[in-house]
């Protein structure tokens, strides 16, 4: 028996449109990749604007805090730690999650904890060896902000009224 396809919902349509807009912005602005803007957009398009704002705010806070910790770590590593074994680096990176998690508790943003850690690890593991990882961190915050702004703008359009 063949399954029936369900109707494509408004949230799905808005998500696809918002991601496409992020791709178009990247083709003009050239921040490096539309990937992080698209992720932010996908996360921030919610069923209602109240939830979209809540998720957007948490996403922005988590990205900024995670990026700051990543930049601080890389700066400290480049200035004071020199060359050391990969296993020691992984140990230090793992231990750095403790103050990041603690900082989420201090600022009362426990719901942001996992994203703070993800952004920190993305910056330090994936881009720590870049020529200038600080630029990547800045672009990461910028791209996420673009995705958040696009998602809020698209999600605020009353598409259901346009089709009536």
Query: How many C-beta atoms lie closer than 10 Å to residue 42's C-beta?
Result: 15
| pLDDT value for 77 | 85
Taking residues 19-29, what's their average pLDDT? 93
Taking residues 63-91, what's their average pLDDT? 87
DSSP 122: I
> What span, in angstroms and rounded, lies between the C-alpha atoms of 95 and 100?
9
Q: What is the pLDDT of residues 125-154, one digit of tens each?
A: 886 566 677 788 888 889 999 999 999 999
Find tokens 């600022």 and name the residue: 107
Q: CB of 55 within 8 A of CB of 46? A: yes
Measured in whole angstroms, how far is the alpha carbon of residue 22 from the centre of its chain? 13
Q: What is the pLDDT of residues 154-164, one digit of tens each?
A: 999 887 655 54
């Amino acid at each position: 028996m063949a399954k029936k396809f369900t109707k494509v919902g408004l949230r799905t349509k808005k998500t696809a449109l918002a991601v496409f807009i992020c791709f178009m912005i990247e083709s003009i602005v050239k921040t490096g990749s539309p990937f992080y803007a698209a992720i932010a957009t996908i996360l921030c398009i919610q069923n209602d604007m109240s939830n979209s704002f809540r998720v957007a705010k948490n996403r922005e806070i988590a990205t900024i805090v995670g990026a700051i910790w990543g930049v601080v770590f890389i700066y400290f590593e480049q200035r004071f730690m020199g060359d050391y074994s990969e296993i020691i680096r992984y140990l230090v990176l793992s231990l750095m999650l403790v103050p990041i998690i603690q900082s989420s508790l201090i600022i009362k943003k426990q719901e942001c904890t996992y994203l703070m850690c993800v952004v920190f690890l993305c910056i330090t593991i994936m881009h720590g060896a870049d020529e200038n990882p600080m630029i990547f961190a800045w672009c990461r915050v910028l791209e996420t902000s673009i995705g958040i702004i696009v998602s809020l703008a698209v999600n605020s359009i009353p598409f259901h009224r346009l089709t009536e």
